[in-house]
Amino acid sequence: MTHLRCLYTGRAPSRALAIADLRAMALRRLPGFVAEFLEGGAEDENTLAANLASFAQARFAPRVLTGPPPPSGIRLFGQDLPLPLVIAPTGFNALHWHEGDLALARAAARAGVPFTQSTVSNATIEQVAATGARHWFQLYAFRDRGASAALVERARQAGAAALVITVDAQLYGKRAWNTRLYRGENALRWPAMLDAARHPRWMAQVWARGMPGFANLYPFLPQGQSGLLPSARWVREAIDPALDWSILGWARQHWSGPLIVKGIGHPEDAARALAKGADGIVLSNHGGRQLDGALPALDLVAAVRDRLGDGPTVLIDGGARRGVDLAIARARGADAVMTGRATLYGLAAAGEAGVARALSILAEEYALAQGLIAGGPLWPPQGA
């Protein structure tokens, strides 16, 4: 009997039945150096694997005969959302698809979920705002607080609904597999360049249109350093390595809307962030790309809820690939999930249509999971 199990790797996003199909489509289209940036993690990638395993190991004890399934929507920072999902901030999106940030934002707008724009996005704040997305802006705090303040002010004027401050990237994680592909910090090694040439669809859609830059940082970059790799080095050097809790007081001086702290990895830091003026937190290990050995966010939720109670807004990121993962996160005590790679696989597979397909897959799977779980708890029950 012929074994027929295989993932879809063609070009039609409508034929993708799972995020895994979109991933397979993306990895076929992308050259190795872009795929490595998308897929890789820090050091031995133990935390990267643990993020996925934490969801895979969760088990429900579903209830039956409970009547109509519960609604999928939630309310977050005063906004009604169709499902507990926010697109996470990610950089270099235009390496996956030309104008990738705008493709993500437009698909998010159609789906009704927030899109979080990264400081190191390749589109401007104003361009993303013009898509009509529920626009959140993510900030890396630079040594030059004037540059950071200018970005926050632009986000405010553009109507961004929330400010997300990332606090776990003051130092740059060791991503050796990615680094091995480069000669120094400014050029790919020849094998990586030759591999890129063997991916003509990506070459025509991305490379031939010009390698993207960090559009929001052009006013701050030194002359001659606006290229992708030199500006990436500038960002790493510009981020404040001595970041402390005073950054939240500084943020409150410049931002009056919802303030979210992303990168929390300990219950006491979760409580302190709220005490210092945050309106919500994101439990995160940066997708396994910073400290190898950090706990998965999902494994922290129960302890954080014990410390904070039910009231404060708690999001998590890292490892969600299925709609049932959103249900797992909610059952564990999170309000919503930020997804990075799941929607990036859609982007890299088929642009805006691929992102839309990723979001629809997650929404369909979440609704199905909600109906089948019917309010049943994760098992064993917490504290058992």
SS3 317: strand
**pLDDT at site 381:** 82
Q: Is residue 195 part of a domain?
A: no
pLDDT band at 2 (very low <50, low <70, confident <90, very high): low
Distance CA 210, CA 20 (A): 29
**pLDDT at site 264:** 98
- Structure-token pair, residue 42: 């820090």
**pLDDT at site 361:** 98
Q: What is the residue-wise DSSP string for 322-344?
A: SHHHHHHHHHHT-SEEEESHHHH
Range of the domain at 48: 22-176+234-373
Distance CA 221, CA 161 (A): 27
Q: Is residue 272 part of a domain?
A: yes
Would you say residue 224 has pLDDT above 90? no
Q: Is 286 tagged catalytic?
A: yes
**pLDDT at site 83:** 97
**pLDDT at site 232:** 84
**pLDDT at site 31:** 98
Mean of the per-residue pLDDT values for the chain? Answer: 95
Write out pLDDT tens, residues 139-163: 999 999 999 999 999 999 999 999 9
Would you say residue 369 has pLDDT above 70? yes
Q: Is residue 274 part of a domain?
A: yes
Q: Quote the number of domains for the chain.
A: 1
CATH number reported for the structural domain that contains residue 71 in this entry: 3.20.20.70
Would you say residue 226 has pLDDT above 90? no
The secondary structure element, H or E, covering residue 153 is helix 145-157
**pLDDT at site 384:** 61
Out of 96, 135, 199, 286, which one is annotated catalytic? 286
Q: Is residue 186 part of a domain?
A: no
Distance CA 360, CA 357 (A): 5
Would you say residue 383 has pLDDT above 70? no
pLDDT band at 4 (very low <50, low <70, confident <90, very high): confident
Residue indicated by tokens 């959140």: 136
- E strands, the chain, are 74-76, 79-81, 85-87, 114-117, 134-140, 162-166, 182-183, 187-188, 259-264, 280-283, 313-317, 336-339
Mean per-residue pLDDT, 13-25? 98
Residue indicated by tokens 């872009």: 34
Q: Is residue 381 part of a domain?
A: no
Distance CA 119, CA 227 (A): 16
pLDDT band at 1 (very low <50, low <70, confident <90, very high): low
Q: Is residue 346 part of a domain?
A: yes
**pLDDT at site 29:** 98
43 near 176, Cβ under 8 Å? yes
Mean per-residue pLDDT, 14-31? 98
Distance CA 377, CA 384 (A): 12
Q: Whole-prediction pTM value?
A: 0.96
Residue indicated by tokens 């109507």: 159
Q: Is residue 183 part of a domain?
A: no
Q: Is residue 51 part of a domain?
A: yes
Mean per-residue pLDDT, 99-127? 98
Write out pLDDT tens, residues 159-195: 999 999 999 999 999 999 999 999 976 689 999 999 9
